[in-house]
Chains A and B, each alone.
Chain A
Amino acid sequence: MTVDVDEIDAHLARIPHAAAIGMELVSRDESGCIIRVPYADHLVGDPDTGVVHGGVLTALLDNASGMAVRAGPNNETSGGMATLDLRIDYMRPAEPGKDLLAHAECYRVTANVAFVRATAYHSERNDPIATSVATFMLGTGGVPKP
């Protein structure tokens, strides 16, 4: 399956909140997708340290996870989908001034549910800032959220 990165990137820019926090697609293939959020002052959660708020990681991990469902193997889902749950573990604080990356992988799709794991990091995926697991309900109608 080939995916047009420019097309997806354009789609990401059309999600108002994704655009508002500066999300951009880095790569997307069958093994998953990577999204970046550049460091920005309005994303700071602790003004004393300049560390980005956990909510930014939530938005990034949620969006990357949803996108990975579309990129996943054996996935012909074209209908709507909805996040059922998302659990995030925070390993360490993000470092001020550095971009955030999230890699998400959809490892299982059933008739109704997709299972996704994701990792947020700065430069090395094996040195995570946060990890997440999410489940998505498929075929919820409405227009797809890639």
Chain B
Amino acid sequence: MAALLAAIPYARFLGITAERKGNELTTVLPFSEHLIGNIWLPALHGGVIGAFLEITATVQLLFDTQCERLPKTIDISIDYLRSGRAAETYGRAVVTKHGRRVANVRAEIWQEERAKPIAAAHGHFLLTPV
């Protein structure tokens, strides 16, 4: 997964990595100045939050399916729950349904406390046949 993320220029630009513990995958987004969307709070850009959720979902899907091709996002719906502070952010995703052509994935990201997510998303992804 680390190699896959390193191969995606945009994931590298955001600084996203993934950690695997047993069969669980956590994505990590270290804080960086260029991720800020509101300099007064300061808070992470909503687009960065959305992108991190989308990448978390995609990575989990690849991890579960062992596919090599990146799935295509059909749609993603993001709920912004708390403002993203200038801190490291973590992500987890669950593939709720894995169909023949489409997968449903839910993702959540948090900072200090897992029980207090800053954003959540659910999306549909088009699977590329192996």
Note all chain B residues with C-beta closer than 8 A to A62.
45-47, 50
B51 nearest in chain A by CB position = A55
A56 close to B51 (CB less than 8 A): yes
Number of interface residues of A (CB under 8 A): 40
**Chain B interface: which size bin?**
35 or more
**CB interface residues, A 50-100, toward B, < 8 Å:** 52-56, 58-63, 66, 82-90, 93
| A5 CB, min distance to chain B CBs, angstroms | 20
| Residues in A whose Cβ lies below 8 Å from that of B10 | 42-45, 52-53, 55-56
Chain B residues positioned under 8 Å from A82 (CB to CB): 80, 83
**CA distance in complex: A45, B8 (Å):** 5
Which residues of A are found within 8 Å of B87, using beta-carbon distances? none
Best-buried of B8, B13, B55, B72 by chain A (most CB within 10 Å): B13
CB within 8 Å of B: which residues of A?
Answer: 14-21, 41-47, 52-56, 58-63, 66, 82-90, 93, 142-143, 145
